[in-house]
Amino acid sequence: MSGKKVFKSSINWLELASLVPEHQKSLFVTFKSKSDAYLRKVQSLPETLPKIDFSYYKKGIAIPGLVDDFEKQYGEIKIPYPEDNVSKDIDELEKEIRQDMEKFKKESDARIAEYKKHLAHLNSIVPYHQMSMEEYRDAFPESAIDPINRPTFWPHKPEDQIGYEQKLAAERAAAEAAQAAAKAKQEAAVQEAKAKQKQKEKKEIEDKKAKKEEKKDTKDKKK
């Protein structure tokens, strides 16, 4: 028997524990406990097959060569150490995850820079509670009241403006129409699939019938 006794785990548990988030510590402890239990189980098993006194069985079994054959087969048993066929996949997965992490980090850095820029702008202007209407218009022209270019009625909220209800109704109608169109398209696709399935089943029945008729004609010709 060829084997390799496992005496120590190859996992660096201290390093792995330092990477585990706080809310997953309990899961990590459970996982490590199971791993340690498996390791202790492996360590409790013998590294070689137990020895058998075949001479004892040779004395009691009258069939010639039977025990010798068993002894030979037992001696040829080889249990190889399991091959590592997953590390490659894990390395590739790690590369993909690292690429995703780098992408997320780059995007996050860009967002942070944009937020810092916005915060710097907010810190450079007059505080909201001290602004006049003109100062607010200069600082936030896109949301400030513009009675010349975008005249609105008091209290200048979207729902208080003329045509808001009609606009909202039009948006709802457009959304309902799009939903109905999508549903109709889906139902049409289902009906088309059913029709194709029926056509396929019909063709299969016809093919079976044709083959049956062909076999019958062949038998009649042989007769």
0.95 cut: is pTM over it?
A: no
* Number of residues that make up the chain: 223
Res 157: pLDDT: 77
Res 84: pLDDT: 83
Domain ranges within the chain, ordered by starting residue: 125-160
Residue 9 host element (H or E): none
Res 1: pLDDT: 46
Per-residue pLDDT of the chain (223 residues; tens, 9 = 90+): 445 565 667 788 999 999 999 999 999 999 999 999 988 888 888 877 888 888 888 888 888 889 889 989 988 888 777 788 888 899 999 999 999 999 999 999 999 999 999 999 889 888 888 988 888 888 888 777 777 777 776 677 777 777 888 888 889 999 999 999 999 999 998 898 888 888 888 888 888 888 888 777 776 666 5
3-state secondary structure of 25: helix
What secondary structure does DSSP assign to 42-103, as a single string?
Answer: HHHS-SSPPP--HHHHHHH--STTHHHHHHHHHHT---PPPP--SHHHHHHHHHHHHHHHHH
3-state secondary structure of 32: helix
